[in-house]
Amino acid sequence: MTAVKVRLAQGTPCWVSLMTSDQEGAMAFYGTLLGWEYTPGPTEPGAYVRATLGGAKVAGIGGTPPPGGRPAEWTTYFAVDSADEVSQRVHECGGTVAVGPLQAEHAGRLAIAADVSGAVFGLWQGEEHLGWQVAGEPGAPAWNELLTPDVPAAAGFYRAVLGQQPSPGPDGTTRLLVDGEPVAGVRRGSGARRPRWQVHFAVADADLTARQAVGLGGQILDGPLDTPRGRVARLADPQGGRFAVVQL
């Protein structure tokens, strides 16, 4: 397991975080499914824990106020050099900033924004907490992909806001590049579902993980099926939080 201990380049996904009305239930579900353990996170702006694999931080789970608050949702955070400056560019490029920029104690500075289609994403200016410490290993984040009805508009937005360079991908998606390396994908999503970023976690066996998710009270939304990135299953946790697993 290779740990990441440096700040990632601006525009690179660096963290994923779940907000749910049942934090304890979510911790139990993902702990069993992905092998996570937990450590306390910042207490501001709300209850929050960090998931770990072998002591390496990989994701966060936060609680929303009862009786339900917002729907359970995974958010992809992108590394930025200045959350304030990038938040201003979000406004200038037709997006919105719903939360922040604000300080998460000594961990870093964050903002929650939405792009021109309404897909929610986060900005993270790391200080003591730079982001995930391992990726691409079973149980850790492996890929982030935007599902949107207008791929060219979305790609142009993230290029202007985060400096990502769009490039055609071999699987019909648009890849977003940072320093010449693909860091995320954009593909056309179903018109019946609102635009959103989809988090993929690496697993050793996508079929087995999908069955385990159902046994833990989750759902299979699609797959498992073979894709150019590996065998993928799109799932939902018991609270409705949608995510995907990929067998690399």
- Going along the chain from its start, the domains and CATH numbers come out as 13-126 (3.10.180.10), 141-247 (3.10.180.10)
Kind of pairing between the strands at 141-148 and 73-79: unpaired
List pLDDT tens digits, range 58-85.
999 998 765 555 678 999 999 999 999 9
Here the tokens at position 12 are 């690179």
How far lies 4's CA from each of 10, 57, 135, 136, 173, in Å?
Answer: 15, 10, 8, 11, 27
Gyration radius of the chain over CA positions: 17
Instruction: Tell me the mean pLDDT in the region 8-25.
Output: 94
Long-range contacts of 181-185 (CB under 8 A, 24+ apart): 183/11, 183/12, 183/13, 183/144, 184/13, 184/76, 184/143, 184/144, 184/145, 184/146, 185/143, 185/144, 185/145, 185/146
What confidence tier does 51 reach under pLDDT thresholds 50, 70, 90?
Answer: very high
Tokens of 149: 């009805």
Task: Give me the sheet containing 174-178, strands edge to edge.
Answer: 165-168, 174-178, 181-188, 141-148, 196-203, 242-247, 230-236, 219-227
Q: Contact at 8 Å (CB) between 9 and 218?
A: no
Residue 2: predicted pLDDT: 45
Distance between CA atoms of 124 and 76, rounded to whole angstroms?
10
Strands (DSSP E) found in the chain = 13-20, 37-40, 48-53, 56-63, 73-79, 96-104, 108-114, 120-126, 141-148, 165-168, 174-178, 181-188, 196-203, 219-227, 230-236, 242-247
Q: Please report the sign of the dihedral spanned by the C-alpha atoms of residue 144, residue 147, residue 148, residue 151.
A: positive
* Structural tokens at position 196: 């959103």
Q: Which of 21-25, 87-91, 161-165, 190-194 has the lowest mean pLDDT?
A: 190-194
Q: What is the pLDDT of residue 172?
A: 78
CB 102 within 8 A of CB 109: yes
Bridge partners for 20 per DSSP:
63
Percent share of the chain, pLDDT over 90:
77
Res. 191 pLDDT band, cuts 50 70 90: low
| pLDDT band (50, 70, 90) for residue 91 | very high
